[in-house]
Amino acid sequence: MELHTERVEGRQVDDGLTEALEGIKSIVKLLHDKGLRSEHANTIACLTIGLSVASWVTSMKVEPAGINRADRWGIFIATWPATWFGLGQALARYEDADEQQRAV
């Protein structure tokens, strides 16, 4: 896939990708400024793996809906770790860039 790029007012524009990345960077910066660190996000990711298993077991034993509902709960919560690991990676990169900038 080829991106359409052009210069507009001295800036390179590439179909909104640059603007989207800047938005993501600002979210990561906001979370970092609020005190969330990569270690926190990675720890939460690991905990949500256990939470997924615990919710599946609990749903199996407590809810009368049976295995179908338990599977849905387990799968729903199992999507969370990837999000938290991704956020942890973004925060780690932000922290590394911040440390390099301070060293200069």
Residue 1 falls within a domain, yes or no?
A: no
**pLDDT for 20-47, tens place per residue?**
777 788 899 999 999 999 999 999 999 9
What pTM did the predictor assign?
Answer: 0.70
Domain total of the chain: 1
Looking at residue 4, its amino acid is H
Residues 6+ apart with CB under 8 A from 56: 70, 71, 73, 74
54 is in which domain, residue-wise? 6-103
Is position 69 within any domain? yes
81 domain residue, yes or no: yes
Q: What is the largest CA-CA distance in the chain?
A: 63
Between the two ends of the chain, the Cα-to-Cα distance in Å is 37
- 17, 38 Cβ separation under 8 angstroms: no
